[in-house]
Amino acid sequence: MLVFHADLWAENYSALDDLVSRMERGEEIHAGQAAVVLGNIRRLCSEAHFEALAARAGQVLGKIKRSPQSAGPKTPPEVALDNIRDLRDDLEGELSKVLLLLVEGRDRSYYDQPLVSAETAAKFSTAHEELLEAAKCFALGRFTASVMHGMRALEEPLNRMRRSVGLRRKNQPWGPTLRDIEYALGSAASPKTEPARKRRQALREAILEFRGFKDAWRNYAMHARRSYDREQAERILRHVAGFIDQLGPLVR
């Protein structure tokens, strides 16, 4: 999905429209001023994949830079005015075809900022990608989809936890996996150091968290049994991200 920053488009389109108006009134325009405006329009069009308009902006820019008549504070030639005016009008037409989705200011951080630490993102790369998708869905108002991606984000941490207690069996449902982890922790030799005892207790608590996720949300979200509103999705998303951050140091 492409990202349009409304402030940049408004500012640069206004500058292009103002440039056309001043040229139509016969004002003297310095070539450097026109070059800045056209250069910005070319960059924005390129980023938006308006390739034809970006190429045309580049062509007009080249003509202005090469034209002796437009060097210094002199009025650009009429052909340049026609080209710039046509570029503005065609840009209006192109923008009228685009459907823009608004991300409110309060939700912008969900769209473009990670929910977990850099260390957690590096350890749980798949979970990190799922959380990014969950956050983008939330920012765009797709709250049930956000919860579904959040539940998917828990798969990798659960598998890493399973491997951390010496289990090798894969592709089990969550219920049997959590029972196996619990049994492995209970049957292992008692830890001899305080850090090891704290780690085992934290893993036991993590089992309870995973069961809570499974019974409260995963079973419903992943099997199309319910939908979620904004408040619910945000609470779940924050809970999942915080839990994964806390679990990171406990598993290998």
103-130 pLDDT tens trace: 999 999 999 999 999 999 999 999 999 9
124 and 238 housed in the same domain:
yes
- Comparing C-alpha atoms, which of 164, 168, 121, 151 is closest to residue 225? 151
Cα 169 to chain centroid, rounded: 34
In whole numbers, what is the pLDDT of the chain averaged over residues? Answer: 90
92 and 123 housed in the same domain:
no
- pLDDT category at 77 given cuts 50, 70, 90 is low
The pair of three-digit structure tokens given for residue 130, joined into one six-digit string: 């799922």
Phi, psi dihedrals of residue 154, rounded to the nearest 5°: -80, -10
Is 70 in a helix, a strand, or coil?
Answer: helix
How far is residue 1's CA from residue 101's CA, in Å, rounded to a whole number? 10
- pLDDT category at 71 given cuts 50, 70, 90 is very low
Give the chain's end-to-end CA distance (angstroms, integer): 34
- pLDDT category at 101 given cuts 50, 70, 90 is confident
Cα 48 to chain centroid, rounded: 16
Question: Of 72, 96, 120, which residue sits at a domain end?
Answer: 96
- Count of CB atoms situated within 10 Å of the CB of 218: 21
What pLDDT sits at residue 248?
A: 94
136 and 211 housed in the same domain:
yes
What pLDDT sits at residue 240?
A: 98
Instruction: Answer yes or no: is 32 within a domain.
Output: yes
18 and 127 housed in the same domain:
no
The pair of three-digit structure tokens given for residue 165, joined into one six-digit string: 């207690």
pLDDT reading at 207 higher than 70: yes
Helices 155-164 and 143-153: crossing angle, nearest 10°? 20
How far is residue 221's CA from residue 207's CA, in Å, rounded to a whole number? 20
121 and 73 housed in the same domain:
no
pLDDT reading at 45 higher than 90: yes
What pLDDT sits at residue 74?
A: 45
- Comparing C-alpha atoms, which of 92, 111, 91, 88 is closest to residue 101? 111
Residue linked to tokens 């473009």: 112
Rg for the chain, CA atoms, rounded: 28
Say how many CA atoms lie within 13 Å of 138 toward its Cβ. 31
What pLDDT sits at residue 6?
A: 85
Instruction: Answer yes or no: is 101 within a domain.
Output: no
Residue 29 lies in domain: 6-96
Instruction: Answer yes or no: is 62 within a domain.
Output: yes
What pLDDT sits at residue 171?
A: 73
- pLDDT category at 32 given cuts 50, 70, 90 is confident
pTM as predicted? 0.79
- Written in H, E and C, the secondary structure of 8-68 is HHHHHHHHHHHHHHHHHCCCCCCHHHHHHHHHHHHHHHHHCCCHHHHHHHHHHHHHHHHCH
Question: What would the mean pLDDT of 42-54 be, rounded to a whole number?
Answer: 93
CA dihedral 171, 240, 212, 226 (to 10 degrees): -90
- Number of structural domains the chain divides into: 2
128 and 163 housed in the same domain:
yes
Least confident residue range of 36-50, 185-199, 205-219, 225-239: 185-199
